[in-house]
Structure 1
């Protein structure tokens, strides 16, 4: 498995570190999250709690509260961030509904002396920090895999994420670039699955009757199992479907592998990137020098890694990596190298 740095959070380690972080024991950090309607976002919030609650309990920081808007709406998240500014948080960690539409309120936060760290759905406002994977490369990796497994090419169905979100545009850009570089592939249909299995299944089922034979499905995560169910319900041959590290996808993949040797790969950003963003915010509040842009590896699962990855992924969850303060320091130290 190709993965980001893996850290095991322990209260003891946090207590040992707390003396070094004395300057942040009175600091409050908030998470502003724009969406929680799929398993990845739920796992992301769970990782945040798993890491930040011990940090608060051991006085590394005074608070690390999470807030999620009810809808993926820029206006609602902007209002949420304005409320966090008024509540006196020292840092706001943001998973943004838009890369640029929140820039105004992000600048307001910075002007008020608040540290802003965006992750996953990053922002372009220069005063903010950004923690992200190379989503464009992630999309390109999918097509590169197809060139090895299906060198003759064929028709592709693309399942995209949430429309208008940076992540969706970036992954799509990588897939599009890969297809343009390999003319044996043709995208004959595209739907938005919102990174949710139920939505993906419904949207794929709706478009399938109008599509020719599909050789492979390129995805963004949280849509592979839904796509497989749609093809099965339509009585159509199961194509090669790129998976997105969700437990239901990995379980379905293993069942098909055991039954008929089905082969694919799985790739996504680890939900625990929220914990890296937390520690980055804490480091900045502690006066550490942190580059404005940090890139972390995406989490890729190959055929040989399937059983091991499935065994360590909880039911209904997502294959994950969480970060300790020491992991975050290593990421920062390695930036630009």
Structure 2
């Protein structure tokens, strides 16, 4: 009877695609910040994939935790608590590329798989999933140069101070200005990847700025920037956007009214789902490169209507990654 029961269980696992090697494993998400639409969409993407994986028996648990503030010390304590709770893998969107390294190393030493994404870490024992954020910044200036060949003054909107993503995109923007010296960055403010913060920050600096022809951004800040220019009675510059639904809706309205065109680009929030599957594959024994790269998601005038229609109100244009997608990314890196 016992052997018959075991055989039945094995057949059930084969039929449902359950992964015997990870069905008892527990994965946690450590997230440093949730104060904008991108982070909310990221958490939703993780939750959707994680719940399905638990229901299918792929893993035993997949829980998400977010710190109350973007503080590395708080997130480090959160990770240490995850180690004590016995999680087998932790996927991390980090507050700092370096300040969490001690806690990350503790996790690795305890046998915990650590996969960082978006805000990645430099601790060698961890895996990293990121887009080429520097290229994303440089490409913005290249696009501005294609639209405004004579150049002019630029305003730079930055993200959360001290976070890897902010530093890399900003470095790319400045690299772009070196490549296209007809532009000059005459102002820079932190918008924290949030429309309301960006609007206040831009409103505060605008009175001190000369005419602005273009704005390089980081995502979650384009619509707030546009509102600040409108409130100040200043002409709307060419603002590169970041795939948020509200700014794409604004873009569509402006295009219909005046023919306004721009470019929108960002990392897909669904990268959290990719991080989940990469962690699962590592737990399952797959050989995975320590550094994985995914393309950023671009929206052009030609794809705006379709992308906007597929993006829920208040959310972000997104791609959710499947197990097959993760295997393709892993194979491509290897």
Q: Secondary structure at the match of 2:243?
A: coil
Coordinate RMSD, CA, aligned: 1.1
Structure 2: runs of 5+ lacking an equivalent: 1-12
Q: Could you tell me how far apart the structure 2 residues matched to 1:212 and 1:237 are?
A: 12
2:282 to 271, 281, 284: 284
Q: Could you tell me how far apart the structure 1 residues matched to 2:14 and 2:261 are?
A: 45
Residue matched to 1:238: 236
1:194 to 180, 192, 195: 192
Q: Deviations over 1:230-251 (max 9, x none)?
A: 0000000000000000000000
Residue matched to 1:140: 138
Q: Secondary structure at the match of 1:303?
A: coil
C-alpha displacement of 1:15: 8.4
After TM superposition, the structure 1 = structure 2 runs for residues 115-194 of structure 1, keeping only pairs within 5 Å, are 115-194=113-192
Residue matched to 1:18: 17
Q: Secondary structure at the match of 1:174?
A: helix
Q: Secondary structure at the match of 1:22?
A: coil
Residue matched to 1:6: none
- Could you say which structure has the greater relative contact order, defined with CA pairs below 8 angstroms and 6 or more residues apart? 1
Q: Could you tell me how far apart the structure 2 residues matched to 1:177 and 1:54 are?
A: 42
Distance 1:318 1:202, change over 3 A: same
Contact 1:15 1:58 in 2 (8 A): no
Residue matched to 2:315: 317
1:39 to 25, 37, 40: 37
1:60 to 58, 61, 76: 58
Residue matched to 1:3: none
C-alpha displacement of 1:22: 1.2
Bigger Cα Rg: 2
Q: Secondary structure at the match of 2:167?
A: helix
Q: Secondary structure at the match of 2:138?
A: helix
Distance 1:253 1:15, change over 3 A: farther
Q: Secondary structure at the match of 2:27?
A: strand
Q: Deviations over 1:109-157 (max 9, x none)?
A: 0000000000000000000000000000000110110111111101000
Q: Could you tell me how far apart the structure 1 residues matched to 2:152 and 2:145 are?
A: 10
Residue matched to 1:101: 99
C-alpha displacement of 1:18: 2.9
Contact 2:16 2:56 in 1 (8 A): no
Residue matched to 1:29: 27
Q: Secondary structure at the match of 2:21?
A: helix
Question: TM-score w.r.t. structure 1 length?
Answer: 0.94
Structure 1: runs of 5+ lacking an equivalent: 1-13
Question: TM-score w.r.t. structure 2 length?
Answer: 0.95
Q: Secondary structure at the match of 1:67?
A: strand
1:73 to 65, 71, 74: 71
Q: Deviations over 1:13-37 (max 9, x none)?
A: x986634x21000000000000000
Residue matched to 1:227: 225
Q: Secondary structure at the match of 2:57?
A: coil
C-alpha displacement of 1:168: 0.2
Contact 2:187 2:209 in 1 (8 A): yes
